[in-house]
């Protein structure tokens, strides 16, 4: 632009053209101003929440001088997470790029179909019922799908829809709900995480205001006698200062709010948010090697008595998953300045590799792994239950991220084998999608083992692929964990085969779950077509599953893993 104007001004008729150039600049300035006003800088009516949680006195306060603060100093020079991608400008590379672009657009079409139907049939409800076409509330009636999908709208460059959603967010009143309590964990990862991520991407201050309102409400969950949060935030008890920690809470639900509260502290400068989660981290650190399976924590905690060691069940699957997922992510979000998260990750994964990982016994001796569950009997008898869970499919990506951040090449290799294991399980089912829970024959070690036909005939399910004992929960709930790890390992290794794996998965998921208006969970993935559609589309379909499918077919600098940490709900939070 500068060179064009300079050329024009050298011409003899510059006296005539100078006013024209001024008019042109005025036109661009006015147009840009209008664009900004219509988008990021527009003023939407803002509804303050009816109750100001920030004004609520704490019944169990921490003196300001004793609050833990964010680590000081600039971020450490951490190892790169992402592969050093290079564009292939040859004819084969251009053809591949076109194919990948077409795949990305098909994913976007699936998102738009779901989002458009949500707008038409379920606007401001938590979820759309994708068969019957109604709205339903499952998370307080605070528009969970809308808030959860904010950053996906931005990432997919659906800016008009994004700002329509922002305007709707401005009207949410956290004190208006038909419920008497909210799920602390789910509200944190979906609503607070969604708002913070959308703010990090757009810098729309309205979103930060709503995040602070919600953050203060959720911060009230820590106002207990020992500063540990309960599973449910009962609003009346929170206002009265009578909340109590649970005595049998899922370990993930009460320990997995670190990323959101840390990012809120980073943005606002308020130490109270970081102090709240830091106390949980210190408790985990003190108890890590005192449990019945040193290195890991049991699935259930007695938070009222600070008993994290007595239970005897251990898993990376349901009820415990995100407890472990947060360790490398917190390390990255804090810029490598808090070493406890590396210690927690390393010690936990040493135990996982020794006791929970198993190699399935299959006829072709495929070099794949799964993460099972164990029970500790007596003093030291560790009993492995060789079951796979869709929820545990995030583990491959976790090992990949931890392997890169902590310079552990073996963990990257483990991550690849776990990720390929979940992809194998998708391909093994008649519908091309994975069951919630399934049992497998296991090799005695992580090395290849000979196929035992007799064991298969005795214990296996002949209706399933060789190696499967059962599919005891055959549903597919539109879950993201498998594509999450496929995406992570693609960004970590640069191997384009992961894009092809993702495309196969997407085609199968779409074929099994698509309805007239959106996409639905299905009842039985062991059947062609996935069985009955159960009229459920949780918000993570738009927040996580389709986002990961979209990103794996996008340029690798879109939400780079060296610039962002993705929370449990796939909300990208800006790294320092």
Q: Is the four-CA dihedral 154, 156, 160, 165 of positive or negative sign?
A: negative
Cβ(228)–Cβ(222) below 8 Å:
yes
Is the distance from CB of 471 to CB of 525 less than 8 angstroms?
Answer: yes
Residues 389, 392, 395, 396, CA torsion sign: positive
Record the tokens describing residue 139, joined without a space: 């998370």
Interacting residues of 262 by C-beta distance below 8 A, sequence separation 6+: 70, 273, 274, 277, 330, 333, 334
Cα gap 411→165, rounded to integer Å: 40
148, 161, 278, 481: the catalytic one is: 481
- Nearest CA-CA partner of 334 in 227, 273, 262: 262
Residue 484 among the catalytic residues: no
Question: 436 catalytic, yes or no?
Answer: yes
The one catalytic residue among 436, 484, 538, 544: 436
| Residue 321 appears among annotated catalytic residues | yes
User: In 3D, which of 543, 476, 494 has the Cα closest to residue 145?
Assistant: 543
Q: Single out the catalytic residue among 164, 179, 186, 234.
A: 186
Asked whether the beta carbons of 398 and 325 are under 8 A apart, the reply is yes
234 annotated active-site: no
Rg (CA), the chain: 25
Catalytic residue among 148, 213, 321, 484: 321
Q: What is the DSSP letter of 533?
A: B
**325: Cβ–Cβ under 8 A, 6 or more apart, which residues?**
256, 394, 398, 568
C-alpha span between 536 and 7 (Å, rounded): 62
Question: What is the Cα–Cα distance from 573 to 576, expressed in whole angstroms?
Answer: 10
370 pairs with which residues across the strands?
Answer: 358
C-alpha distances (whole Å) from 278 to each of 53, 283, 296, 504, 568 are 21, 9, 18, 41, 18
Helix (H) or strand (E) holding 57: none
Catalytic residues: 186, 321, 436, 481
């Amino acid at each position: 632009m500068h060179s064009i104007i300079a050329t024009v001004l050298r011409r003899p008729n510059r006296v005539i053209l100078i006013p024209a150039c001024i008019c042109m600049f005025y036109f661009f300035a006015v147009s840009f101003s209008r664009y900004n006003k219509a988008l990021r800088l527009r003023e939407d009516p803002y509804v303050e929440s009816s109750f100001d949680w920030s004004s609520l006195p704490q019944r169990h306060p921490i003196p300001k001088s004793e609050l833990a603060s964010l680590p000081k100093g600039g971020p450490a020079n951490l190892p790169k997470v992402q592969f050093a991608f290079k564009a292939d400008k040859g004819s084969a590379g251009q053809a591949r790029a076109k194919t990948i672009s077409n795949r990305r657009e098909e994913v976007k079409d699936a998102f738009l179909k779901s989002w458009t139907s949500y707008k038409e049939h379920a606007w401001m409800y938590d979820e759309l019922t994708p068969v019957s076409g109604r709205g339903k509330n499952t998370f307080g009636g605070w528009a969970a799908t809308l808030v959860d999908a904010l950053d996906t709208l931005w990432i997919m460059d659906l800016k008009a829809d994004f700002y329509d959603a922002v305007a709707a967010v401005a009207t949410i009143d956290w004190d208006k709900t038909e419920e008497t309590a909210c799920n602390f964990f789910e509200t944190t990862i979906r609503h607070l995480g969604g708002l913070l991520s959308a703010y990090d991407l757009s810098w729309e201050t309205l979103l930060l205001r709503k995040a602070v309102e919600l953050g203060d409400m959720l911060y009230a969950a820590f106002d207990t006698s020992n500063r540990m949060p309960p599973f449910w935030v009962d609003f009346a008890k929170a206002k009265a200062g009578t909340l109590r920690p649970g005595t049998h809470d899922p370990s993930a639900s009460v320990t997995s709010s670190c990323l959101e509260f840390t990012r809120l502290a980073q943005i606002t400068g308020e130490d109270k948010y970081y102090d709240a989660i830091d106390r949980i981290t210190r408790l985990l650190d003190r108890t890590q090697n005192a449990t019945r399976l040193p290195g890991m924590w049991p699935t259930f905690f007695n938070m009222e008595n600070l008993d994290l060691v007595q239970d005897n069940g251990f898993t990376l699957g349901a009820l415990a998953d995100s407890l472990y997922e947060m360790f490398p992510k917190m390390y990255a979000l804090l810029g490598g300045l808090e070493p406890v998260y590396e210690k927690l990750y390393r010690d936990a994964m040493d135990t996982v590799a020794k006791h929970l990982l198993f190699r399935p016994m299959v006829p072709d001796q495929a070099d794949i792994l799964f993460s099972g569950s164990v029970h500790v009997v007596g003093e030291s008898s560790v009993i492995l239950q060789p079951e796979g869970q869709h929820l545990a499919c995030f583990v491959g990506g976790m090992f990949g991220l931890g392997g890169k951040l902590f310079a552990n090449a073996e963990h990257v290799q483990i991550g690849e084998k776990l990720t390929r294991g979940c992809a194998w399980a998708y391909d093994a089912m008649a519908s091309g999608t994975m069951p919630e829970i399934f049992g497998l024959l296991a090799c005695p070690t992580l090395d290849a083992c000979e196929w035992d036909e007799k064991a298969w005939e005795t214990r296996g399910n002949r209706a399933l692929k060789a190696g499967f004992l059962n599919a005891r929960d055959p549903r597919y709930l539109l879950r993201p964990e498998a594509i999450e790890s496929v995406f992570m390992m693609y960004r970590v290794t640069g191997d384009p085969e992961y894009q092809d794996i993702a495309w196969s998965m997407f085609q199968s998921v779409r074929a099994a779950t698509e309805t007239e208006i959106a996409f639905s969970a299905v009842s039985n993935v062991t059947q062609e077509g996935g069985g009955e559609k159960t009229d459920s589309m949780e918000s993570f379909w738009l927040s996580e599953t389709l986002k990961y499918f979209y990103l794996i077919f996008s340029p690798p600098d879109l939400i780079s893993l060296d610039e962002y940490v993705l929370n449990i709900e796939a909300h990208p939070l800006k790294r320092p």
